[in-house]
Amino acid sequence: MTPGMQNMRMGMLGRRRALAALAGGVLVSNGARAQAPKRGGTLNVGLVNDAKTYDPIYSVQFTERHVLYLMFDTLVRYGTDFSIKPELAESWEISVDGKTIVFTLREGVAFQDGTPFDAAAVKWNIDQRLDPHVNSPQRALLAPIIASVDVLDPHRVAFTLTQPSPGLFSLLGERVGFMVSPTAWKARGKDFGDHPVGTGAFTLKEWTRGSQVVVERNPTYWQKGLPYLDRIVVHDLAGSVIGVQRLLTGEIDYVGELTPTDVLPIESRPSVKLSPIKVGRWYFLQWHVNTPPFDNAKLRQAVAGAIDRQRLNEITMRGQGSVSDGPTPDGLWWYDPAVKSLPYDPAKAKALLAEAGYPNGFSYDLSTPQVAVFQQINQLIQEQLAAVGIKVTLQPVAASEWYARVVAGSTNMTPTRWTQRADPDGLLYILFHSKGFANTMKYKNDRVDALLDQARATYDVAVRKQQYGEAQKLIVDDLPMVPLIFGAEYAALRSNIGGFEWIPDEIPRFRGLWKAAS
Amino acid sequence: MKHPARWIGGMIIASCVIVAVAAPVLAPDDPYRSGIAMLDLSSRAHWFGTDDLGRDVLSRVIYGARASLAIGLGAALTATLIGVPIGLLAGTLRGRVDAALVALIDLFIALPGLVLALIITAMIGANLRNLVLTLGFVMWPAIARLVRGQALALRETLFVEAARATGGTRLSIIRRHIWPGVLPVVAAQFATSVSFAIFTSASLSFLGLGIPPPEADWGGMVRQGFDYLAINPLLSLAPGAGVSLTVLGFYLIGTTIK
């Protein structure tokens, strides 16, 4: 089998599984008015926006991508099943040794400032991110796998890799893949984040921090006939609940990140339709495995066995999420049904606690970010652990400070959540490899490291699936964290909005939407 | 009845205290036990419905009286313990000590109470003890200033001059002649401080710096219910009524003390 064929097989396998998962989900739609695409109009989006910059090279915040995907195109894009599709790159070929990928670029594409998008621009974009002086946060992801990027001709560019790197495609569909106009970036310097220029369907018109972002249709967009909308206004929201009210009054057309409880008041409104996400965020409880008290394996097992995950799902997600047995939900190709977390068994948990050397239980602080769902999860965990003699004190921390403290290591036991990435390497490596930059559990298992290293260096999906399966089994047994649930979440749209589809990274793509007469 | 307002206030406070003390008897349910009937509306089983974790709201409102009264009374007591001695010292000693203390009092009064409380709680962390200390610390300058003013007036009166002339010591003058005159002012300010403390702690909860969950406290419950106003407004309204009533009760008492 040629590497090219292997690549196709990977895509198809992923697609089939994700489609099977899709069949289980239902799109709740009360109106059927938005079927035929219509041109023109303004889409009003409500967003709890924490954007700091719209320079893709420096982007870190989650919600920045909501707007970046409007102004920038990526080299490749994700399908609704996380499959990799052409975007600015029309096609690609992987060399037999897997260490060279040649991308053939779309012709006739120009940046919004009129300069051409070509192979030199791609090389410049990747080189910028690799340049230590530029200090892009993406450098840590790219430097270990990219040896060089070379221009073959104006429309062909070769990526030379240090090792076969299937995860690169996933990276090129998000921040790393946003193609920036080199001319504009050099001209603007540090101000580029306020005056972004890409090849995207929309151009930035106005950004008033704390208030709104306005983007307008790019009249020279390379995809003929697109976009449908003339303008998109992203309004800052103080909270999703306020967004629901503004949606009902028609002030905004879209609001996302709604919990199953948030959508209760709008479930049967004809003016609104709900779109559930396909792959829920992964919630887990983490701790430092290298320092007392959680360096004690028996103690970790006791805590894990004392937590009733089904009840967490029933109460915090109204039963619409699912119990997590490991990092990967069913529906993604690296899901392995053999990965099983400890079952809920308070009696056994109590016995384990005694074996661990705590016959009378113990007391510990649980970091509690001011985010409704974390507060709910923590109160339930507190109640459940109290039943086996573990006294947990909830330690409130501002949502904005919380993750910085987790990274700094000043927070030990805390709940956390991550969205899935298009490639298993994206999440499993950064969280569980001893060198992973988001491994705040201080977890280190040499076998897991080896498996994650091997699996990121082969394109053979069957081999990778087996390696990721074994790694996840080891991780779940070692308990650097307790898997809790996969969340349920909704976007709510006015029923005259058409064309909306979820991609499993939970970032809504607005550029293909249209607005019918309401 | 000479002071109907005082009586009404007294009755309100008395009921609050009874609810707080008898909470385990009065509450129909365990206020901390979760359930899978979340955000239910008012029913025979749950008069005020249930919250987002399926806990009985009525029971939580009843237990919430404890935290709110503890904060109100605790903070007012703290403020009094700091404010009264400083006020008496400044008012009776005069001179350089007075000037320094007045500068200190003015410095703290110039800062808005809520903002100061917000900064302190953000630094030392929110829990019942810290809230009591923080709010007490925020409120002492008002008490000190009142006490100083009263003491200043009293120290110029004839009977204090007479006491000084007959060889009374400073301490005995404060204790026997000035303190009795200051006491009504302190009592009135104490009552107002209680209502300010309860009110401010509710505001802090709204900003995420109140008593941490799962503790049932009125301020925190108002905040928590805010997200579910469209589903069950009682989640916020019931504890909100508790705050309003208690604040009103102490206010009525405070304003009728001469």
Domain residue limits, chain B: 4-27+47-256
Question: Coil, helix or strand for B237?
Answer: helix
Is residue B36 within 8 angstroms of chain A, CB to CB?
yes
Q: Residue B105: CA atoms inside 13 Å, Cβ hemisphere, count?
A: 27
- Give pLDDT, residue A29: 43
In tens, the pLDDT along A223-263 reads 999 999 999 999 999 888 889 999 999 999 999 999 999 99
Amino acid at A30: N
Q: Is B91 within 8 Å of B147 (Cβ atoms)? A: yes
Sign of CA dihedral B162, B165, B166, B167: positive
Of B59, B71, B60, the C-alpha closest to B250 is B71
Position A457: which residue type? A
> Rounded to whole angstroms, how far apart are CA atoms B80 and B193?
9
Give the confidence band of B258 by pLDDT, cuts at 50, 70, 90: low
Residue B92, both tokens: 């009776």
* Through-space distance between the first and last CA atoms of chain A, rounded to whole angstroms: 53
- Measured distance CA(A244)–CA(A158) in Å, rounded: 47
Q: What is the pLDDT of residue B1?
A: 62
Q: What is the mean pLDDT of chain A?
A: 91
- Distance of alpha carbon A501 from alpha carbon A81, whole angstroms: 11
Q: Alpha carbon A255 to chain centroid distance?
A: 18
Please name which of A170, A219, A177 lies closest in space to residue A73, comparing C-alpha atoms: A177
Residues in chain B: 258
Q: Is B34 on the interface with A (CB under 8 A)?
A: yes
Does the pLDDT value for residue B251 go beyond 90?
no
The residue behind tokens 């298992």 is A445
Q: How many residues does chain A have?
A: 518
Q: What is the pLDDT at residue A266? A: 92
Render pLDDT for A48-66 as a digit per residue (tens, 0 to 9).
998 999 999 999 888 999 9
Q: What is the pLDDT of residue A481?
A: 98
How far away is chain B from the Cα of A370, in angstroms, using its nearest Cα?
Answer: 7
Place of tokens 């000479």: B2
Nearest to B136 by CA among B88, B184, B203, B80: B80
Q: Which residues of B touch A367 (CB under 8 A)?
A: none
Distances, alpha carbon A420 to alpha carbons A1, A235, A308, A362, A474, in Å: 29, 26, 23, 34, 20
Task: Give the pLDDT score at A30.
Answer: 42
Residues of B whose CB is below 8 A from A245 = 230
Give pLDDT tens digits for A386-444: 999 999 999 988 887 898 899 999 999 999 999 999 999 999 999 999 999 899 999 99
Per 3-state DSSP, chain B is made up of helix, strand and coil in percentages (nearest 5) of 75, 0, 25
d(CA A182, CA A120): 9
Give me the mean pLDDT over the A85-110 stretch: 97
State yes or no: pLDDT of A213 exceeds 70. Answer: yes
Q: Token pair for residue B231? A: 């589903």
Q: What is the mean pLDDT of residues A139-163?
A: 96
CA dihedral B123, B128, B132, B133 (to 10 degrees): -40
B52, B212, B231: residue with CB nearest A394 = B212
Q: Tell how far CA B15 is from the center of its chain.
A: 17
Average pLDDT over residues A198-213: 96
pLDDT confidence of residue B175: 87
Asked whether residue A171 carries a pLDDT value surpassing 90, the answer given is: yes
Hey, which of A20-24, A30-34, A391-395 has the most confident mean pLDDT? Answer: A391-395
**Among A152-161, A341-350, B46-55, B245-254, which stretch is predicted with the lowest mean pLDDT?**
B245-254
pLDDT recorded at residue A10:
35
Return the number of CB contacts < 8 Å for A and B.
60
d(CA A18, CA B53): 32
Q: In what order do the strands lie in the sheet with A202-208?
A: A202-208, A212-217, A231-236, A42-47, A254-258, A490-494, A272-276
Mean pLDDT check: name the lowest of A314-318, A362-366, B32-36, B173-177: B173-177
What is the rounded average pLDDT of the residues B114-128?
85
- In A, what residues contact B, Cβ < 8 A? 239, 241, 244-245, 261-262, 264-265, 311, 314-315, 318, 368, 370, 372, 375-376, 378-380, 382-383, 393-396, 398
Per the CB < 8 A criterion, the answer to whether B193 and B79 are in contact is yes
In the numeric block, which tokens belong to residue B252?
A: 């009525």
Structure confidence at residue A32 (pLDDT): 45
Spatial separation of the C-alpha atoms in residues A172 and B257, rounded to whole Å: 73
Quick one: angle between helices A297-306 and A346-355, nearest 10?
160
Is A44's pLDDT higher than 60?
Answer: yes
Q: What is the pLDDT of residue A34?
A: 53
With beta carbons under 8 A apart, name residues in chain A contacting B131: none
Q: In A, which residues are within 8 Å of B32 by CB distance?
A: 383
Q: What is the mean pLDDT of residues A273-282?
A: 93
Non-local CB neighbours of A305 within 8 Å, separated by 6+ positions:
A342, A343, A344, A345, A346, A348, A349, A352
Q: Looking at residues A185-213, what average pLDDT do you find?
A: 96
User: Taking chain B, what is the end-to-end CA distance rounded to the nearest angstrom?
Assistant: 16
The interface pTM score, or ipTM, of the predicted complex is 0.84
Nearest C-alpha neighbor of A503 from the set A416, A421, A423, A418: A421
Pick from B129, B204, B228, B236 the residue to mutate for testing the A interface (most A CBs within 10 Å): B228
* Amino acid identity, position A407: V
Q: Which residues of B touch A314 (CB under 8 A)?
A: 36
pLDDT(B7) > 50: yes
Q: What pLDDT is recorded for position B115? A: 87
Q: What is the mean pLDDT of residues A179-204?
A: 97
**What confidence score (pLDDT) does residue A246 get?**
94
* A315 CA: distance to closest CA in chain B (Å): 6
With contact defined as beta carbons under 8 Å apart, do B206 and B223 qualify? Answer: yes
Are B213 and A375 a contacting pair at CB < 8 A? yes
Give the 3-state DSSP-derived string for A113-168, with helices as H, strands as E and coil as C.
CCCECCHHHHHHHHHHHHCCCCCCCCHHHHCCCEEEEEEEECCEEEEEECCCCCHH
Q: What does the H/E/C string look like for A333-348?
A: CCCCCCCCCCCCCHHH
Q: How many CB atoms lie within 10 A of CB A132?
A: 8
Residue among B55, B224, B227 with most chain A CBs within 10 A, to mutate: B227
Structural tokens at position A90: 């029309």
Q: Of the candidates A230, A200, A204, which has an alpha carbon nearest to the alpha carbon of residue A87?
A: A200
The CA distance from A324 to the nearest CA of chain B, in Å, is 19
B38, B213, B226 member nearest A315 (Cβ): B38
At A182, the pLDDT band (50, 70, 90 cuts) reads: very high
Among A123-137, A485-499, B209-223, where is mean pLDDT lowest?
A: B209-223
Mutual angle of helices B179-206 and B113-124, in 10-degree steps: 70
At residue A490, what are phi and psi to the nearest 5 degrees? -130, 155
Give residue A175's Cα distance to chain centre: 11
Which range has the top average pLDDT, A161-165, A236-240, B212-216?
A: A161-165
pLDDT at residue B32, as a whole number: 95
Predicted TM-score (pTM) of the model is 0.86
Among partner residues A264, A314, A379, which is closest to B213 by beta-carbon distance? A379
User: How far is it between the farthest Cα atoms of chain B?
Assistant: 76
Other C-beta atoms closer than 10 Å to the C-beta of A355 total 14
Of residues A313 and B201, more confidently modeled = A313
d(CA B160, CA B179): 12
Partner-chain contact A241 B36, CB within 8 Å: no
Burial of B149 (0-12, 13-18, 19+ CB in 10 A): middle
CA-closest candidate to residue B194, choices B72, B15, B83 = B72
Q: Which chain B residues are Cβ-neighbours of A370 within 8 angstroms?
A: 208
Cβ contacts of A9 within 8 Å, gap of 6 or more:
A1, A461
State the average pLDDT over residues B127-149.
93
Tell me the CATH class for B4-27+47-256: mainly alpha
Chain A neighbors of B52, CB-CB under 8 A: 261, 372, 376
Q: Cβ contacts (< 8 Å) between B39 and chain A: which residues? A: 261, 264
Which of B54, B212, B231 has the CB atom closest to A315's CB atom?
B54
Residue B166 in tokens: 């007959």
The partner residue sitting opposite A370, judged by closest CB among B34, B208, B231, is B208
DSSP code of B56? B
* Interface contact flag, A396 B32, Cβ < 8 Å: no
Distance CA A411, CA B144 (A): 40
* β A322-323/A481-486 pair status: antiparallel
**B129 interfaces chain A, CB cutoff of 8 Å:** no
